[in-house]
């Protein structure tokens, strides 16, 4: 199974990186994690077949994680997708999806898709299976607007992937990523502690308790990007592939 960083940037495109969007695929797995505003052109540039994606997991409703969905869905309609698609995310996702569809393309939320579309709310700490993929959401801390905020532990094909999403340090990151084959963690700042975001130095203090087998840093600000030569951890880049 592999993960490709379709986009790994922050909300401001620091370092020219695209908005958050990860593609996980294997023999029976085809999942997108988040779908930021720049996701559709990035998916096309990487020649990822959007119509084979079965599940899109949304961590929260900020534009750099969520605003690519109207483009994705309209592209699916015009490319005559027939395969069913599930979009799953925090409480309120159905209403939020309609709102963003209408904001970007008026009347588009009322369009009847040619394919079966399911929009599913996920509750914190309640495991949910989608085919061969099992998802456990964990609550994280990322401010007031744009939530609820979820991180995901994903089990598929005998592998476990954990993604912190955008969050300041919270103890739920320990069970989220404990023993995971791959832990994708926000490292927005290098050392400075800022509200609602995670710094690398804060994360490093807790890595022994987390005990993930591999770590990849994502959602980095200019502060972090300027220090990449000085850190020992693998940092995501757009287009990068991790096999796990």
Task: Return the active site residues.
Answer: 64
Residues 6+ apart with CB under 8 A from 36: 7, 18, 19, 20, 21, 63, 64, 65, 66, 67, 68
Residues in the chain: 244
Q: How far apart are CA 88 and CA 27, in angstroms?
A: 21
Backbone angles phi, psi at 69, to 5 degrees: -65, -45
Q: How far apart are CA 112 and CA 230, in angstroms?
A: 51
Query: Could you tell me which of 241, 240, 222, 223 has the C-alpha nearest to residue 13?
Result: 222
């Amino acid at each position: 199974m592999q993960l490709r960083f379709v986009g790994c940037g922050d909300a401001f495109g620091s370092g020219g990186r695209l908005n958050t969007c990860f593609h996980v695929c294997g023999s029976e797995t085809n999942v997108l994690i988040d779908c930021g505003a720049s996701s559709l052109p990035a998916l096309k540039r990487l020649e990822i077949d959007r119509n084979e994606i079965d599940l899109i997991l949304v961590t929260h409703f900020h534009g750099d994680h969520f605003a690519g969905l109207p483009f994705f869905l309209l592209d699916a309609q015009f490319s005559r997708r027939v395969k069913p698609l599930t979009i799953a995310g925090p409480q309120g996702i159905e209403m939020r999806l309609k709102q963003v569809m209408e904001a970007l393309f008026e009347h588009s939320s009322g369009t009847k898709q040619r394919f079966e579309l399911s929009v599913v709310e996920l509750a914190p700490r309640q495991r949910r299976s989608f085919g061969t993929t099992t998802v456990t959401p964990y609550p994280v801390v990322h401010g007031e607007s744009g939530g609820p905020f979820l991180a995901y532990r994903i089990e598929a094909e005998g592998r476990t992937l954990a993604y912190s999403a955008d969050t300041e340090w919270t103890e739920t990151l320990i069970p989220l990523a404990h023993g995971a084959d791959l832990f994708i963690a926000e490292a927005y700042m290098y050392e400075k502690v800022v509200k609602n975001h995670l710094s690398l130095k804060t994360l490093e203090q807790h890595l022994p308790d987390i005990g993930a087998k591999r770590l990849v840093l994502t959602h980095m600000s200019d502060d972090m990007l300027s220090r990449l030569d000085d850190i020992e951890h693998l940092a995501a880049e757009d287009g990068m592939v991790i096999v796990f």
